[in-house]
């Protein structure tokens, strides 16, 4: 009887693997273009946007200037390089910037006004309240330094004092609204009574005209392993991935930020909700989930990532367990009512399919069209299959498109350039940087 059960499970496993990967192999690939660019030097993207259970800041970034220039910004050590590429993805010029010596890399942001912002961090093992722990440097469009903001060690989010190590176990997310640059990240705090350094999110609002900042924590999450911030129509939208308080994906909406910022008691804060609760013990760093992107449509906050089923059944399976595969999820929260819902965009059996989703990233094409780039991995043979799922502004799936000959590890954020979705990768098995582009719909 036991042998029959074993054989039945193995047959089910084989069938599930075929079902999971059959479409990726058999479906015709859509139009895609790839170019090897030996003149660009960048960090490997092999590990994607996560290191184990937590996100890490990107080190390569894309921005554009109209239809004629694509830029790749690469940070290696204390050197930042801005590569200018033409529409055929050939390097036409290179600008090198020597950064101040720092301990922790934070992030880069290109303003729609043309300025560049760089965030770097300094460890604070002495737990000084006056030491600079985060520096945001402003450069003009020609990369001439135009100012800086120094954030000091006493900075607190009201739940825990100080910055012991900036950007620790988290991401750095920038968003801009007029003259306000909002920086959302994570940090480890000064030691508590037990000598431990807890970790949480922390955020700052920077006046880019005066280059002044103040702590501006609209949400609280601890531990916070990934952070996203977006402005739209004057409202601020935030996402955290937490393992304890809360344990899940938290979405916060802050109405009319421009008028209410700095007043954390204002009624302008609509609410923070745990939109996707994770099973497991409070404080268990492993959550069986990632958050890969957040954007805002005309009516919804849209959040995507990969996760084990937890309490939301996938192919009849629920739970949080070692060895379970992860599927692609989509959370949407109404910007008018605050109502939340979650659904699975893929449905591979977490227990027996041999399939797991990796590396999701979300790209906003316009207010009613979004693309989710992701990889399906066959854990039995290590093969990976790249897909792009297109959804509308209400989160409805338009189509799921497979592509061949693309190595997507999600180590950089894709952008839209000349009506194509463009992203850059440095796989460990290839000598040169690869620039890929796929359709926007």
- Compute the average pLDDT of residues 45-54: 92
**Cβ neighbours of residue 126 under 8 Å, at least 6 residues apart?**
none
- How far, in Å, are 87, 162, 167 from residue 188 at the CA level? 42, 8, 8
- pLDDT tens, 240-292? 999 999 999 999 999 888 655 544 444 456 789 999 999 999 999 999 999 99
**Residue 387, domain member (yes or no):** no
Give the C-alpha separation, 208 to 183, whole Å.
12
- Indicate whether 313 belongs to any domain: no
Instruction: Report the C-alpha gap between 71 and 63 in whole angstroms.
Output: 5
**Does residue 11 have a pLDDT over 70?**
no
DSSP letter, residue 320: -
Of all residues in the chain, the percent with pLDDT exceeding 90 is: 81
What is residue 256's predicted lDDT score, i.e. its pLDDT?
A: 80
Q: Which residue has the higher pLDDT, 24 or 111?
A: 111
227/3: higher pLDDT: 227
Q: Is residue 14 a part of any domain in this protein?
A: no
Do 167 and 186 touch, CB atoms closer than 8 A? Answer: yes
Residue 416 lies in a domain: no
Has residue 24 got a pLDDT over 70? Answer: no
256 by Cβ neighbours in 10 Å (0-12 / 13-18 / 19+) ranks as middle
Distance CA 32, CA 34 (A): 7
Q: What is the pLDDT of residues 368-416, one digit of tens each?
A: 999 999 999 999 999 999 999 999 999 999 999 999 889 899 999 999 9
Distance CA(409)–CA(376), nearest Å, equals 11
- Residue 29 DSSP symbol: P
Share in percent of the chain as helix, strand, coil (round to 5)? 5, 50, 45
Mean pLDDT, residues 321-342: 96
Q: How many domains does the chain have?
A: 1
Q: What is the pLDDT of residue 371?
A: 98
pLDDT at 25 over 70: no
Q: Determine, yes or no, domain membership for 349.
A: no
221 — pLDDT class (breaks 50, 70, 90): very high
pTM of the model as a whole: 0.92
Number of neighbouring beta carbons within 10 Å of residue 326: 23
Per-residue model confidence (pLDDT) at position 431: 86
Express each pLDDT in 354-375 by its tens digit: 999 999 999 999 999 999 999 9
Q: 3-state DSSP call for residue 217?
A: coil
- Return the pLDDT at 91: 97
Q: Retrieve residue 383's tokens.
A: 């093969």
Q: Are strands 300-307 and 247-254 parallel, antiparallel or unpaired?
A: unpaired
Burial of 293 (0-12, 13-18, 19+ CB in 10 A): buried
**Under a CB-based contact definition with an 8 Å cutoff, are residues 417 and 20 in contact?**
no
Can you spell out the DSSP letters for 225-284? EEEEEEEETTEEEEEEEEEEETEEEEEEEETTHHHHTT-TTSTTEEEEEEEEEPPS-TT-
List of residues 6+ apart from 267 with CB closer than 8 A: none
The band of 2, judged by pLDDT with boundaries at 50, 70 and 90, is very low
Whether 29 shows a pLDDT value over 90: the answer reads no
Number of H helices, E strands in the chain: 2, 33
What is the 8-class DSSP label of residue 346?
Answer: -
Greatest distance between any 2 Cα atoms in the chain: 76
Residue-range definition of the domain harbouring residue 181: 100-284
| Residue listed under structure tokens 């030691």 | 191
Residue 182 clears pLDDT 90, i.e. is over it: yes
Q: Considering the domain boundaries, does residue 178 fall inside one?
A: yes
Say what the pLDDT of residue 16 is: 39
Summarize pLDDT for 185-214 with one digit per residue, the tens: 999 999 998 999 999 999 999 999 999 999
Count the neighbouring beta carbons within 10 Å of the beta carbon of residue 317: 19
Which of 107, 63, 124 is CA-nearest to residue 206?
A: 107
pLDDT at 219 over 70: yes
Q: How far apart are CA 260 and CA 267, in angstroms?
A: 9
Q: Is the pLDDT of residue 10 over 50?
A: no
**Mean predicted confidence (pLDDT) in 306-327:** 97
Query: Is residue 265, in this structure, part of any structural domain at all?
Result: yes
Q: Average the pLDDT over 170-197 and give the result.
A: 95
Q: Which of 4, 17, 3 is nearest to 352 (CA)?
A: 17
**pLDDT band at residue 226 using 50, 70 and 90 as cut-offs:** very high
400 domain-assigned: no
Termini Cα distance of the chain? 51
């Amino acid at each position: 009887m036991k042998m029959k059960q074993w054989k039945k499970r193995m047959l089910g496993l084989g069938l599930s693997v075929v079902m999971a990967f059959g479409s990726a192999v058999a479906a015709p690939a859509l139009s895609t273009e790839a170019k090897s660019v030996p003149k660009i030097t960048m960090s490997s993207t092999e590990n994607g946007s996560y290191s184990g259970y937590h996100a890490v800041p990107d080190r390569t970034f894309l921005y554009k200037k109209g239809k004629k220039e694509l830029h790749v910004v690469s940070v290696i050590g204390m050197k930042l390089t801005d590569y200018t590429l033409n529409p055929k993805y050939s390097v036409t010029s290179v600008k090198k910037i020597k950064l101040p010596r720092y301990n922790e890399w934070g992030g880069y942001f290109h303003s729609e006004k043309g300025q560049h912002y760089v965030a770097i961090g300094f460890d604070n093992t002495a737990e000084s309240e006056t030491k600079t722990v985060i520096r945001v440097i402003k450069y003009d469009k020609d990369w001439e330094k135009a100012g800086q903001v120094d954030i000091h060690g006493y900075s607190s989010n009201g739940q825990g004092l100080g910055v012991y190590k900036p950007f620790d176990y988290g991401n750095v997310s920038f968003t801009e609204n007029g003259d306000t640059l909002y920086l959302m990240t994570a940090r480890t705090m000064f030691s508590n009574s037990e000598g431990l350094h807890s970790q949480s999110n922390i955020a700052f609002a920077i006046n880019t005209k005066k280059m002044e900042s103040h702590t501006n924590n609209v949400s609280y999450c601890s531990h916070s392993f990934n952070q996203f911030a977006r402005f739209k129509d004057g409202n601020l939208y935030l996402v955290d991935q937490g393992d304890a308080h809360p344990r899940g994906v938290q979405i916060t909406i802050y109405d009319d930020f421009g008028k209410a910022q700095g007043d954390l008691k204002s009624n302008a804060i609509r609410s923070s909700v745990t939109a996707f609760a994770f099973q497991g013990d409070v404080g268990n760093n492993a959550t069986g989930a990632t958050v890969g992107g957040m954007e805002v449509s005309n009516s919804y906050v849209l959040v995507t990532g990969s996760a084990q089923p937890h309490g939301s059944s996938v192919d009849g399976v629920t739970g949080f367990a070692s060895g379970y595969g992860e599927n692609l999820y989509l959370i949407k929260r109404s910007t008018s009512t605050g109502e939340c819902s979650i659904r699975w965009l893929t449905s591979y059996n977490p227990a027996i399919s041999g399939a797991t989703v990796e590396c999701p990233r979300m790209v906003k094409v316009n207010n009613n069209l979004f693309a989710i780039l992701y990889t399906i991995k066959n854990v039995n043979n290590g093969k990976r299959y790249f897909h792009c799922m297109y959804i509308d502004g209400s989160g409805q799936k338009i189509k799921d498109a497979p592509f061949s000959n693309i190595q997507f590890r999600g180590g950089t954020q894709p952008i839209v350039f000349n009506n194509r979705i463009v992203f850059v990768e440095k796989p460990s098995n290839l000598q040169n940087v690869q620039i890929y582009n796929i359709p926007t719909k």
